[in-house]
């Protein structure tokens, strides 16, 4: 009524609105009015999960239909379930990596990564420059198990030169054992030392205009995070915390996307990544022999390291098309690693698979 005394048209507007079933809000003394048609109340929409609700529903509908069709054929149900497990995306529905890019049932693209920068001014290992020219993602040692400021700076420069995505490759503080000894390091210390290593490499990356985009643990730490739930959870939480701060602080010239984790499929680290809301990429190894559970055969045992380029390339193609991995690793310190990397890339591309980073 106060508004009506300020504006003679207010009463007429409201009366006309009531007669037409329209709710009108009369403004202040400037006499602006906004019409808002009455709408039936709708049930609340389900909360969005990372903006992927519709996509998840579509996938579920398609897989349900496929399962029904498969079940109608004798002996087909078991084959479908096995195939579905192979094709299933990472277990984190909030922030999954892009699943294997498939076209007509075949892999269209996959990541190829390598452990690099594992040298120092006192020791040179491998042929990093040649491998940087082949891979899509580089896991760069951060000075604990191997590497130093010079190797990290050189690796960052190579990543920039070749357009390779930069990842941190932290390990135990064990240069004598190259990070391959299973040390009894407390889980909270692992998380703290991760931040020290990640921060060092990321600082050098910022100086070159790029960022660390993901983290992959090295050696014995890699295997520890695969089985130790507490260590994996603290590790993933540390990565998520660092990534959130780094993303918010990134300038317009730097990529502000969250960090991802690269590791063994079905591991404690994959579960920890899901709990921390991190993207997780599943890794397979082209130049290493593996046990039935997916863990690597320890170095020094028969079949642990593969050296034949043809065999390594064939294993890479098999890993890609099996559908259980998002990234294929080649170790930069394996003798002849550059030749192996070139053979793997050539075999994948000849089979119609594009090499593309998972981030």
DSSP string, 100-157: PEEETTEEEEEEEEEEE---BTTB--S-HHHHHTT-SEEEEE-SSSS--HHHHHHHHH
Phi-psi group of 178: left, alpha or beta (phi > 0 → left; psi -120 to 50 → alpha; rest → beta): left
Asked if 119 contacts 128 with a C-beta cutoff of 8 angstroms, the reply is yes
Summarised one tens digit per residue, pLDDT across range 19-35 is 445 444 434 444 443 44
Token representation of residue 257: 């996307």
Sorted by sequence, the CB contacts under 8 Å of residue 266 that are 6+ apart come out as 294
pLDDT band at 169 (very low <50, low <70, confident <90, very high): very high
Q: In whole angstroms, give the CA distance from residue 304 to residue 288.
A: 6
Prediction pTM value: 0.71
Highest CATH level, class, for 85-355:
alpha beta
- pLDDT level of residue 67 (50, 70, 90 thresholds): very low
Alpha-carbon distances, residue 140 vs 130, 145, 159, 166 (angstroms): 15, 11, 10, 7
Domain assignments of the chain as residue spans, ordered by start: 2-37, 85-355
The yes-or-no verdict on residue 81 having pLDDT over 80 is: no
- Distance between CA atoms of residues 108 and 100, nearest Å: 7
Q: How many CA atoms lie within 13 A of 204 on its CB side?
A: 25
3-class secondary structure, 78: helix
- How distant, in Å, are the alpha carbons of 147, 185, 188, 325, 345 from that of 299? 21, 22, 28, 22, 24
The span from the CA of 159 to the CA of 155, in Å, is 6
Residue 156 has pLDDT above 80, yes or no: yes
pLDDT tops 60 at residue 203: yes
DSSP 215: E
What's the pLDDT score for residue 111?
A: 98
pLDDT band at 334 (very low <50, low <70, confident <90, very high): confident
């Amino acid at each position: 009524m106060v508004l009506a005394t300020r504006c003679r048209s207010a009463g007429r507007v409201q009366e006309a609105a009531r007669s037409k079933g329209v709710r009108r809000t009369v403004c202040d003394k400037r006499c602006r009015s906004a019409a808002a048609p009455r709408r039936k109340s709708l049930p609340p929409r389900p909360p969005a999960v990372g903006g992927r609700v519709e996509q998840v529903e579509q996938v579920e509908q398609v897989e349900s239909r496929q399962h029904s069709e498969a079940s109608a054929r004798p002996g087909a149900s078991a084959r479908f379930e096995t195939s579905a497990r192979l094709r299933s995306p990472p277990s984190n529905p909030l922030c999954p990596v892009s699943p294997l890019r498939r076209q007509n049932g075949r892999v269209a693209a996959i990541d190829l990564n390598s452990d690099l920068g594992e040298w120092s001014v006192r020791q040179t290992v491998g042929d990093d420059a040649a491998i940087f020219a082949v891979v899509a993602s580089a896991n760069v040692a951060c000075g604990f198990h191997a590497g130093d400021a010079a190797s990290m700076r050189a690796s960052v420069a190579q990543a920039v030169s070749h357009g390779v995505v930069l990842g941190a490759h932290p390990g135990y503080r064990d240069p004598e054992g190259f990070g391959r000894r299973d040390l009894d390091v407390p889980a909270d210390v692992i998380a703290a030392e991760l931040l020290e290593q990640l921060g060092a490499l990321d600082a050098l990356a910022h100086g070159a205009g790029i960022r660390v985009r993901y983290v992959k643990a090295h050696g014995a730490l890699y295997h520890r995070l695969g089985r130790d739930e507490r260590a994996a959870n603290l590790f993933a939480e540390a990565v998520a915390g660092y990534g959130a701060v780094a993303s918010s602080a990134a300038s317009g010239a730097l990529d502000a996307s969250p960090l991802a984790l690269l590791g063994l499929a079905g591991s404690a680290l994959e579960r920890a990544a899901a709990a921390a809301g991190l993207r997780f990429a599943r890794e397979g190894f082209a130049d290493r022999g593996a046990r039935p559970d997916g863990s690597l055969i320890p170095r020094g045992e028969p079949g642990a390291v593969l050296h034949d380029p043809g065999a390594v390339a064939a294993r890479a193609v098999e890993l890609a098309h099996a559908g259980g991995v998002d990234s294929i690793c080649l170790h930069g310190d394996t003798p002849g690693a550059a030749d192996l990397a070139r053979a793997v890339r050539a075999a994948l591309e000849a089979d119609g698979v594009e090499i593309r980073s998972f981030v």
